[in-house]
Structure formats: C-alpha cells, structure tokens
Structure 1
C-alpha cells in the first residue's frame, strides 16, 4: 500500500454546464484539468472520488484523442495503478495489458513509458502469486529503464523497490535487503529523506526486517515512516494508516498488546472510513487484529474476524491465493484451540474453495479493528 497511490498536481478543473458546446481545444483542456484534479484527489487518499473522475477522464480522452494517443494511454496506466492499489487485480491486469500493448505500438517496446507499464503489470502478477512472470517482467523493465533513463530515475527506483518486494514475498531476504537499500539511497539522494516515495521505501524495508525477525530495525523504520507520512500526507492518508497498522503488528509480536490495540483501532477506523469494510486493505487490517485477539485468548472474537477476512479475500483474490491460504490456516488454528476439530478438518479439506458465509458483518469502530501491508 504505501507509496502506491497514483499522484499528481493541478488546479481546479474548468466547470461547464454544457461541455459539448466547447471547442475541441477547450474540451481537451477541460479533460486535462479534470485529470490533474483526479490525480490530486488520489494523492490525498480520496480514492473513490478520484477514481470516478479518472474513469470519466479516460472516456473523454478516448473520445477526443483516440484509444492509442499518448494522453489516453497515460490515463489507462494511471487507472491500472489505482485498481492495483485497490486490490482489484483482474481489472488492473486488463488495463496494464492495454497500456503495454498500446505504448509498445505507439512508442516502441524500449520506451520508458512502455517499460513503466510493464513494471506495473509485474506488480499485478506478484499480487496474483505468479512470481516467475513477475520477476521476468521486473527484470525486463529494470534493465530497460536503467539503459534509457538511468539507475536513479524515479521510475527505475520504483521498479527496483517492487522487485525487492517480490524477493521479500519469496523469503529471499538478503536479495531484498540489497535492492531496498539501493532504492532508499537513491531516493534520499534525489528526493530527500521526507519525500513520500522515500518514506515508501522506508516502509517496505521495515516490512522486510519484520518478516526477517529483525524487530528492532523494523520498529524504528515503521516509526519513521508513520511519522513522516503523517507529517507530509496527513494522519488519515492510506500510507500513514498502513505504517500504523504494520507497527501494530510488530507491537503485537513483541507482546505489547495495549499499544498494538490502540494502533490497530486507529488504523482500522481510518481504513473503514476511506475504503469500506470489504476492501482488501481493510481486510488485511482485520486479519492483523484477529491475530492480536488470538494472542489475548479471545478466540471466539478471533474466529469471527478470520471468517470475515477469509470470505472477503476469497471474493477479491480468488481461491488458492497465498493470502487466502494464510487466513485459512490461521482460522483452522483458532478452531483447533477451541476444540472445534470437525469444523477445522472441514475447513482444511476446502482448501480455500468453500463457503465461509458464517462470517459476521465486518465489525466497526471500537468493538474490533485492524489494518494493512502492501496489497
């Protein structure tokens, strides 16, 4: 999640009661201004509002410029990035494939814009668990970008960071650490230590150390990322909430349950208000909170939360996805601890393909809470 929100700057769009009466050049300018506003909304974490406007911009660009104009393809790429960030991977895949194909024909396969879309598609494949495809695409994009724009260009560093995340997901921790460190050094040099992209790399490096068991390093980096995001983006921005959630995960691992609970509840409240109860990010948050409740011995609460997460993840990610499997195993463990052996065996036999319709409505507010890693 952190660092993934499409960003942009711009002034307020031109508002017309009858856009069809505008001259072509005026319509193009109105669409441009609308896109700038959409990207600004997305950068502020207003995903629903920004996404709706960006979709209208795409329709406008196709009508005004054609489907393979540079500006149209840029909008397709931005919308794909948003869908990926929202966890809507099938839509993101279709859009990125459209962007890659269109940019390859329009600009060539080695153009930085084409390579950026290939890198985006690689991130979708990573989230789909298609690691071999993702790695091949990342390597292709990285080699091309280093050749075309240099090793410290922002797009190159983005692909480098995402390749590191792939290695982290595969438990190749040393390889991931090396790539994250190179990306962090480059972003600090080019952007400064408090730029959102720099803080995004700090966040990902913290995730790595947490997975690796190097908790002291992870703690200081999560704290740096959370405070930095809160300062530059605001306390309710998704990147701030992601850092807060993952710091809560860490505190729970360290046995600091009261601090973990406070962080989880702040993060979950923010995610639910921005994304709703069934978004992938909110589900990831609930998953963490379910783990805390299990550690506290509140097994019935933990069971209900895990059921909700599993049902939601199956719907969004599909059976067989690693995150569905992780939640299923956690739910099985909670059932066994409660002596519900028949239910646990039945759930194990489903292999994440069964119905978890017993899941309750997503708990909100004070009663239950939790937050997210990168989707």
Structure 2
C-alpha cells in the first residue's frame, strides 16, 4: 500500500472509530490488529492523541499526520477551544465521530444568547472540511420547528471549520423514554413531529442519512428537535466520491439495508431509520440490539417482556402498529412507506380508528374499522341499505315479472331478518361488538348465500357499493360492483339491474381516476338504459351525467356539454324532486365552459347555480361549495384575483368548518387560494398556502395521488417568479417526476414538461427545452384546436425556442399558427402579457428596437391593468424595459431611471439577489 493510500485508509478508520464507545472501540481495534497490526498501532495513537491523552506514541502521530498533530497540539497548548470571534466557548456538551459540540455564548453589544458551536474533532481532513461546508449549506435552507436552526458559521484562524447552531435544552430521545416513561400517545405524537421534520427536509431535496435517537433531543414540551444534517446530501448529488473513500457516513445500528450494502442513500433510507426509531419507541429497546439481525420482530412481542409501563401498552401495539413498523422496516425500499409523511399519516389513521395502509387491505378490514368508529350510524345505514335493496326490487312493474320480483324481495327480506337475528342478545351473549359482528355477518352471508335470481344478490352488492362511493372508498366499491355487474350479465338477468350496475361502476372508476374505464362503463350503461327504460327516465339522466364527467376528464369538453344539456332537460322534465340533479348538470356545464375559456358563457350559469344551491341545499353544503370554488377560479382566470382571493378565503373557512383541516377538498382550496395570492403578488402568503396543501396531501397519504403534483408545480412557478431559478427547476422536475410516476393523464404531464421547458429556455438551455417542448406538443397538438389554451402555450414555447436558436423559418411557422389559434381563444391577462413578451423576443431577433420597446410597453400596460399597484411582476417588467430605454435618447433615459426608482424597493423585497432583475438594477445604477 502506498504512503498516500495508507494515510487515506488511516483517516477512514479514524473517522469510523472515533465516535464509538470505549468497549466498541477496543473491539474495533482488536479486529484491525488481526489483519494489520501496524495500522492498528497507528490508529490507537491517533485516537489517544485526539483524546489529549499523554502517550509515547505521539511520534507516530506526528509522522503519519503531522498537520493533524500540530493542530491538536496548538489547541491543547494554548486553550481547550479555538478562538471564534464574537463567541465565548463555555463547555463541551456533546461529541461524536464528526465533531465536538461546545456550549457558547454570543458576545454582542446588541444581544446575548447561547448557541451550540460544532467543531471538527481530531484532524480536519479535506473530506471532513467538505462535509462541514455541505452541512452549513444544507442547514441554512431548513426552517422547521423540529429541526435545529443554523445561526452562523466560519473557519478559525487555524483552518478549523465551525457552525453556530440553535442550542436545544433537552434529553436525547432514548434517555427521554427511560426517564419519562411516556404513554403510547405521547411517544407516537412525538414521532409524528419527527416525521414532519424529516418530510420538510425531503421536500427541500435533502436527506439525513444518519437518523437515530442520539440525533434527536426532546424538549420539556415533548417536542423533538432533529440534529446533525452533516451527513445529509442533496438528492441529485453525485455520491461516487464518497463511495470511493468507503468511509461510513452513518451509524450502522440505524442504517438501512441498502446503506449497509454500500449503496446510495435515499429518502427511503430515512424512512427505514424512522422505522427503527419507531420500533424503539414502541418496544422500549433497539431492534438490532434485541435481535442481532435486520429482521423485523413485532414491537408488541418485545414490549410484552419489557418494563411494566411498556407491558401495559403491548396489547395496543398488536395489529396495526406492528404492521406499520414492519412496513417502514421492509428490506425492499420500494415496499416501505413512500415518504415520512405517509408513515405519519398511517399513525394518524391509527389514532382516528381509520384503516392503515400497512394492514392487509380488504373490504372486511376497512368495514371493521369504519364500524368501530360509527357503530350506531352503521347499524342504521345497514338497515337502510337492505331496505333500499328490497324496495329497489319493485322497479319492474310488468305483470310477467311480478312473481319473480316478489320472490326476490322475499329473499332480501329474509337476508335482512337473518342479519338482525345475529345481533339479538341471545345470539351475542352480551358482547359489545354487535354491530361489527353484524357487518361481518353481512359480508360473509352475501358472499356465500344463494339466491334464486342473480340480480337479487347483485342489487345488494350495488346498494352496499353505493354507500362505499358516498364514503369515498372507490376501490372497495369497484370490487363489489365488478362482481355485481358480472352476476347481472347472466342470460336470465335483468338488464335494468345491469344498466344500474354499469352506471355505478362508471362513477366508481371516475372517483378512482380510471377515466378510460369510467368512459367505457358509462357508454355501456347508456346504450343499455336507453333500450330498457322509457324516454325521459331519470336513470338515463344519471347515466348521461356520468358519461359527461368521463369526457370532461378526457378533455372532450364539447361532447361533455352535449351530455350535460341533455341531462338537464331530462331532469327538468322529471319534476321538482330532481331539482338538485338539474343544478348538478348546470354546474358541470359551467365547469366545461370554464375549461374551454368560454368565460362569458360560464359565469352566468355558475352564479345562477350557486344562488339556487344556496337556497335549495344551504350555503355550506358540499355541492354549493364546489360551485363557489369554480366561480373563484373563473374570477382569477379573467383578471380578478382580488375577488377570487376574498371568495376563496371565505370558502376555505367554511370548508374547514364543514370538513376539518385534513381532507383533500381543503387542500385543493388552499392550492387555488395560493394561486390567487400568487397572482396578487402576495408571495409569502401564496407559498404558505401551497405548502399547507402539500402537507395536507402528504398527511392523508394522498401524496401518491396525481393531485399532489399541482401545488408542487405551483410552488415551482412561484419560485420562478421570485427568480429563484435553481429552486424552481428542482420543483418543476419534482412535479414532472410525480406526474409520470403517479400515472397522471398525458395532459398533466405535458403541462409539466412545458413549464420546465420554459425555465430551461430562460436559463439558456435551448436544446434541453426543445426536447421537452416537442414531447409536450405531441399531446397538446391533438387537443381540440379551437378550444384549449394549452395548445397556445405549446405553440408559443416552440416558437420561442426556434427563435432563440436562430431557426427563423420554423419560428415564423409556429408563430403564424399561434396567431391563427389566438383569434379563437379568450386570452387571460397573464397570457396577453406573455404574448407581448414573445413578440418582443421576435423583434429583438429582427433588430427592430422600436418594436421591442412597443411590445414591452404593451406588456407593461396589460400587466398594470390586471395587477394591483406595486406588484412584483410590474416591477420586474419595468426594470427590463428600463434596461432597453437607457440606451436611447435623453427622454428615454429619464423614463428608464423613473422606472428604476419606482421598482427598486419592490424588487429588493421580492426577488433573489442572484436573479436578473437585481443584476439589471445594479447595471442601471452604474449608468446614472
């Protein structure tokens, strides 16, 4: 081994051994002596030197690493701590393999407070210096109440790096458990706060890689604070250099299987480490200490043999909590929880008595959980659904069917009687789980009981599925309805039952985002129902509505409108009892008109629908609130963001009162409110709403659904407007990856591609932008040509890219197509501004300075007419225009500096110091 390689090997061993407790360190040295005695002697000398222990082996240290020896000796000869200007170092409060932590006091004329100073332990190798620099950069981006904050940082006179961090008064997590003996609820609430901190870091594209109880301090208020992101890394960082050194960047006892195998860490590695911490909180002992392997034992089994305070809660761990720990600790990363938020959401589901995703999914399990939460309501609902099924058998009134219908009704009634008998006291023997037993019996009986006609059983399955749809359990409904439809297809089955089953199946498919399946089922249902029901029957109207909604999701809005008009006419003719259905069809018409920018047609029908829904259903009915949300979106799209924000703020308040904080409807409203605030230039408030929407999605486990990508995309656009271009690019890429992995529709993926292409073009990466823009156009080009603004966006992006590349023929061709299409579409204010900006880019290419200025003036006027005074985008555009005018005559120069003075304070408040606007301001100042 060469001298350089030997020193590198010694450094690696030192970093691995220095953080070990004395017994473990001695064992480490013993193993090393067996393979390389000389290297073991040198390592022991380094360890002794690091501890400032007098040793005859210091000469070896000086020979091997003289710089380390000199630094350590200088530190021990003059002062126990290096001199850090502005701080007085008091005492050591912690140490580990990476550094020592010293309590210090800030010495300042204005304020005084205590901080924790982290110093490199031992010798500051280049690798350790780099790790410290990275830790400083990473921590500076994190702002979370459960993550220790970074205040300051630098390098001592001797070249030793340091960080000044928030001083946390608290106990390490394992000590807190031993000393406090907290209840299971306290432990789990603390763990959820820890998950929230880790999720925050992951959303910043940062992973920790060394989560363990020693890196968690618990304050007196039971709030955990996560320490030491020094071994974290950005997700897109190249880890090859770190792998080459083979230095452990983690604590083996809390590392994931992939880390132990030497593979790169990911967010799923942090999820595994959270699983280990959860196991320890539940069982009272570390998993690997108990089992000696990475196999997962049940926390409940371990807790049963622990201290009394643990044994008392062991029974509560059985089942869901055991399953949650197993899922978090799965050896296959992709079978763990997808995020820390998803892990926390399953614990929240356990608290609420909801089904957890870690459990074996099944209708029986979910129904048992539902019954445990709502025993009385379920009893009433069950009786109601059976009665409904019995009554529905009388839909067929033809005399030839009377006997069969009576026979079916009699069988359904017998089924109901049997279920009710099973809840009688003599059957339950006084047990308290009567309703749960009743529901289990319903499931089992429905599965095995024989009926004289298949549609009798099918109707019971359909009635139960209808309740599942109303409860938001689309997948459970699909399972029942697919069986019901199959039964109803029997040769002697009733086609009316089949038509009803297909209609309900279409609705369930649409709720599960299976839009093509929903369209197919709705088309079958309509073809069948128009044959078996008389014209004008309400069942045909319901089927038309489902078919229209399916086509809405598939961007076939003109066809959808035809179905909604037909349904409205049918329900209107059916009588006043179908008034709510009439209003639903009007809402759907307004939504489709909004989607194809027929704003003048959409607004009156939506306002009428809101007024009638408030009168018929009440102002806080979910259906009323849905239409109010579309009205607010229309106001925003037509340049009225202030009205939209006011309406959405009130809508959010009412939605929270109705549903509570934790549901996707509230998350959607927050996202739309954030967009309105974004348009108003209230960037901080907009970011808060976007992040709240993302957090709610994640807490509900809905971050795996396509809708979660929408606030991610909007946050990226906000960063783009703030000229935080690196952050914007990372979030746009995240949004695109989410939409691809979540199997979002091709239109959603194309939108994300176009947004990322726009950012890449702004940063000069034209070829990368072209690839994305052309991929997006393959989808957008097939949209309805005269009815979708996204075709305009796609054409504009292609034109701008070719113009920037100097491909004049292609650029002019795309621009001509854009102009033709623009005459058929209502342009919102933002798109009018983008239009003038695009024309200005073409004028720059042709060298027509007058046209450039004219287009910028037009863009500024359009922005000023739509946005409030002092909007950041007005300031940015004004500065851009000033940069052109300053090169003109004296009058244009005066106008340029007037624009500069008007925009300076606004720009300083809202834009990144590294962005183009502040750079332009500096350049203009230099020309005064």
TM-score, normalized by length of structure 2? 0.34
1:31 equivalenced with 2:461 (yes/no): yes
Tell me the distance in 1 between the aligned counterparts of 2:773 and 2:469.
Answer: 43
Shift of 1:82: 3.8
Select the residue among 22, 36, 39 that pairs with 2:449. Answer: 22
1:308: Cα distance to partner? 3.9
For structure 2, the residue ranges without an aligned partner over 5 or more in a row are 1-376, 383-434, 780-928
Question: Which of 293, 318, 343 matches 2:768?
Answer: 343
- What is the rounded CA distance, in whole Å, between the counterparts of 1:280 and 1:261 in structure 2? 20
Q: CA deviation at 1:28?
A: 6.6
Question: 1:98-177 counterparts in 2 under 5 A?
Answer: 98-150=524-576, 153-177=579-603
Counterpart-to-counterpart distance in 1, 2:704 and 2:777: 18
- Report Cα offsets for 1:160-189 as digits up to 9, x if no partner: 111111111122112111110111111111
Runs of at least 5 residues in structure 1 that lack an aligned partner in the other structure:
1-7, 43-49, 355-375
Q: Are the aligned partners of 2:458 and 2:485 in contact in 1 as well (CA < 8 Å)?
A: no
CA distance in 2, matches of 1:147, 1:27: 33
**How big is the shift at 1:126?**
2.4
- 1:232 pairs with 2:658: yes
Residue 265 (structure 1) aligned to one of 683, 686, 691: 691
Aligned residues: CA RMSD: 3.0
CA distance in structure 1 between the partners assigned to 2:626 and 2:562 by the alignment: 23
Partner of 2:642: 216
Matches within 5 A, 1:238-257: 238-257=664-683
Separation of aligned partners in 2, 1:63 and 1:128: 26
Mapped contact 1:14–1:34 kept (Cα < 8 A): no
Contact 2:694 2:703 in 1 (8 A): no
Pair member with larger Rg: 2
**Cα shift at 1:52:** 2.6
Give the Cα–Cα distance (whole angstroms) in 1 for the partners of residues 653 and 482 of structure 2.
38
Structure in which a larger fraction of residues adopt strand: 2
Q: Deviations over 1:265-295 (max 9, x none)?
A: 2211222344644522112222212212212
Q: 1:305 deviation in Å?
A: 2.8
Matches within 5 A, 1:62-73: 62=485, 65-66=488-489, 70=496, 73=499
Task: Name the SS for the 1:15 alignment partner.
Answer: helix
Comparing 345-354 with 20-29, greater Cα deviation is found at 20-29
* Aligned residue number for residue 280 of structure 1: 706
Task: State the match for 1:46 in structure 2.
Answer: none
1:290 equivalenced with 2:716 (yes/no): yes
- Select which of 630, 636, 644 maps to 1:204: 630
Partner of 2:745: 317
Q: 1:133 Cα deviation (Å)?
A: 1.5
Q: Which moved more, 1:181-190 or 1:32-41?
A: 32-41
Per the alignment, residue 97 of structure 2 pairs with none
**Residue of structure 2 equivalent to 1:52:** 475
Does the aligned pair in 2 maintain the 1:151–1:157 contact within 8 Å?
Answer: no
| Number of residue-to-residue matches in the alignment | 337
**Any conservation in 1 of the 2:475–2:508 contact (CA below 8 Å)?**
no
3-state DSSP class of the match of 1:153? helix
Q: CA deviation at 1:95?
A: 2.1
Bigger RCO (CA 8 Å, 6+ sep):
1
Name the CA distance, whole Å, in 2 between partners of 1:298 and 1:93: 42
Say which SS state the counterpart of residue 189 (structure 1) adopts.
helix
Alpha-carbon shift at residue 21 of structure 1 (Å): 4.1
Contact 2:761 2:769 in 1 (8 A): yes
SS at 1:316 equivalent: coil
The answer to which of 65-74 and 169-178 deviates more is 65-74
Secondary structure of 1:193's partner? Answer: coil
Q: Is the 2:509–2:517 contact (alpha carbons within 8 Å) kept by the matching residues of 1? A: yes
